[in-house]
């Protein structure tokens, strides 16, 4: 049983490719998605491996206590449990204001449930538009034109709702990175936030991701090598993901370590990753997967 918990927020600074392997669809290398909802995600094993790599550079002696032994996994389990990284905010091109951060009542409800599980205080209640052609925005939204929110080629009736600003202010304070270079994004989150109907949100996260074509050039002919043309799917920059973290008392004798309880385990992880950038997913050599991390605990 786990004794302490926290939420890890990941803000993508460059497109993120957490691949699911080959596909029979039009995209050769799609990203990982939830089976039931089709929402993008990053599997817990990928996230945990990345966290372990960062911690290993910082404090090698405590890594096996927290994440488990690398050579002999049967010796003992790690003291940290990492959940899947789930979608919270997704950027979509807007007719005005450049882009909007979209979410839905379903996504917000799941996040509030996970936040409660992690014992994180949330002072708002999820909400969403009742009509399929409507969208909730804040009073001073910068993505509204002529009482419409136009995302890609789809128009929604803009409906002002006070909960949008309340949710946005909470996310700006608790979820977005606290460093100075994110001040502008924290200040404009409420103006960009749009709560969409469930079907519209699902369609955007399924069909508005980035799909890029890549080639490998033959060293001699300087043309595309045989069979070396493929397409990859990426989560776009400025996506906000979150994952739950749970810690227990170390499962191995740690008398020689300062990690004596679950809180010490979370403090160790926070000291290693909070406020730092890490590379998550594939294509690291072409600049993919840079995320800014924030760990929040009650």
- Domain ranges, residue 143: 89-208
Total domains, the chain: 1
Could you give the C-alpha distances from 141 to 83, 155, 296, in angstroms and in order? 33, 15, 27
- DSSP letter for 284, please: G
Has residue 273 been placed in a domain? no
Question: Token pair of 75, please?
Answer: 């010796």
The predicted pLDDT at position 228 comes to 73
The predicted pLDDT at position 61 comes to 76
Nearest Cα to 41, choosing from 66, 73, 12? Answer: 12
Task: Give me the residues paired with residue 141 across strands.
Answer: none
Q: Please identify every stretch of the chain with a pLDDT value under 70, giving residue numbers as ranges.
A: 1, 22, 24, 71-75, 218, 221-224, 226-227, 253-257
Cβ-contact 239, 245 below 8 angstroms: no
For residue range 100-146, list pLDDT tens digits in order: 999 999 999 999 999 999 999 999 999 999 999 999 999 999 999 99
> What is the C-alpha separation between 122 and 297, in angstroms, rounded?
12
173: left (phi over 0), alpha (psi -120 to 50) or beta: alpha
Has residue 109 been placed in a domain? yes
Q: What average pLDDT is seen over the chain?
A: 91
Has residue 261 been placed in a domain? no
Task: Give me the residues paired with residue 217 across strands.
Answer: 224
Cβ-contact 192, 99 below 8 angstroms: yes
Cβ-contact 13, 292 below 8 angstroms: yes
Has residue 281 been placed in a domain? no
pTM of the model: 0.93
Helix (H) or strand (E) holding 75: none
The predicted pLDDT at position 274 comes to 95
Nearest Cα to 293, choosing from 282, 278, 281? Answer: 278
Angle at which helix 105-117 crosses helix 198-207, to 10 degrees, equals 90
> What is the C-alpha separation between 99 and 149, in angstroms, rounded?
11
The predicted pLDDT at position 148 comes to 97
Has residue 6 been placed in a domain? no
Has residue 278 been placed in a domain? no
**If you count DSSP H runs as helices and E runs as strands, how many of each does the chain have, helices first?**
7, 15
């Amino acid at each position: 049983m786990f004794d302490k918990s926290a939420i890890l927020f990941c803000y993508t600074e460059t497109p993120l490719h957490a691949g699911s392997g080959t596909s029979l669809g039009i995209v050769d290398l799609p990203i990982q998605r939830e089976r039931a909802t089709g929402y993008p995600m990053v599997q817990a094993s990928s996230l945990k491996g990345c966290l372990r790599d960062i911690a290993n550079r910082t404090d090698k002696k405590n890594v096996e206590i927290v994440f488990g032994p690398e050579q002999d996994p049967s010796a003992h389990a790690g003291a940290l449990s990492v959940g899947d990284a789930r979608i919270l905010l997704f950027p979509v091109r807007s007719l005005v204001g450049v882009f909007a951060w979209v979410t839905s009542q379903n996504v917000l409800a799941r996040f509030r449930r996970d936040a409660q599980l992690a014992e994180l205080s949330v002072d708002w209640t999820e909400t969403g538009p009742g009509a399929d052609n409507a969208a909730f925005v804040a009073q001073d939204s910068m993505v509204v034109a002529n009482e419409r929110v136009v995302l890609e080629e789809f128009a929604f009736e803009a409906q002002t709702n006070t909960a949008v600003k309340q949710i946005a202010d909470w996310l700006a304070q608790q979820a977005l990175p606290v460093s100075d270079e994110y001040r502008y994004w924290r200040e404009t989150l409420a103006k960009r936030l749009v709560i969409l109907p469930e079907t519209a949100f699902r369609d955007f996260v399924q069909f508005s991701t980035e799909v890029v074509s890549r080639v490998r050039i033959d060293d001699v002919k300087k043309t595309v090598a045989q069979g070396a043309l493929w397409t990859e799917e990426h989560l776009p920059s400025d996506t906000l993901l979150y994952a739950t973290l749970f810690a227990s008392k170390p499962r191995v004798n740690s008398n020689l370590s300062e990690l004596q309880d679950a809180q010490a385990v979370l403090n160790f992880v926070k000291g290693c990753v909070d406020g730092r950038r890490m590379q998550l997913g594939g294509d690291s050599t072409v600049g993919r997967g840079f995320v800014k991390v924030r760990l929040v605990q009650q």
